[in-house]
Amino acid sequence: MELNIAGSGAVQVSDVTFGAQFNESLIHQTVVSFMAGARQGTRAQKNRSAVSGGGRKPWRQKGTGRARAGTIRSPLWRGGGRTFAAKPQDHTQKLNKKMYRGALRSILSELVRQERLVVVDQLTIDAPKTKQMISKLKEFNATNALVVTEEVDVNLYLSARNIPQVDVRDVQGVDPVSLISFDKVVMTVAAIKKFEEMLG
């Protein structure tokens, strides 16, 4: 299949990478797995055994007229432990490489179908200038965009980091969540070729 390059010309791309069927369930599973893996999972609370103190029985079992109590750190008491205290846990969900690559192919293909993928021959800026970056993105009608280059471009990154709703990444730094989070994805021809190598 052929993708038009912004300005002029076209580039031949693989149907396998950019013409795959839309697989919503696979994309959903991949995004959930990716976001679960980003969780710290470090939250922790103290249960009745972890709270300091409370070793002595507050009053005798019988004869006081009060409800029986064994410790002042009971969850029923102020200053007591939590009944179901949270513990640090690992939230990662296993996802096969084949499934991950399949989800990326499905997302890229859907971006092409929805005309949200803007292909450019190359995208370079001589020096870190935010104004230049904004004007270039306006040329492509991409004010809410993910810019993908083959390699890390420091000037592009520095030019875009102060622009809201714009992110610059190289091919290796792209993930399913970033691809679906923006209105447009601006991608260089070199980046497209690299995606074809990775996913083809």
- The one-letter code for the residue type at 161 is R
- Our CA angle for 177, 179, 185, nearest 5°, is 155
Distance linking the first and last C-alpha atoms of the chain: 14
- The one-letter code for the residue type at 142 is A
If asked whether residues 137 and 72 sit together in one domain, one would say no
The total number of structural domains in the chain stands at 2
The model carries a pTM of 0.84
Distance CA 49, CA 87 (A): 13
If asked whether residues 81 and 98 sit together in one domain, one would say no
Mean pLDDT of the chain: 94
Distance CA 56, CA 48 (A): 13
Range of the domain at 70: 44-87
Strand, coil or helix: what is 2? strand
pLDDT tens, position by position, 81-137: 999 999 999 999 999 999 999 999 999 999 999 999 999 998 889 899 999 999 999
> Domain boundary residue among 63, 87, 111?
87
If asked whether residues 168 and 180 sit together in one domain, one would say yes
Q: Taking a C-beta distance cutoff of 8 angstroms, is the pair 170, 183 a contact?
A: no
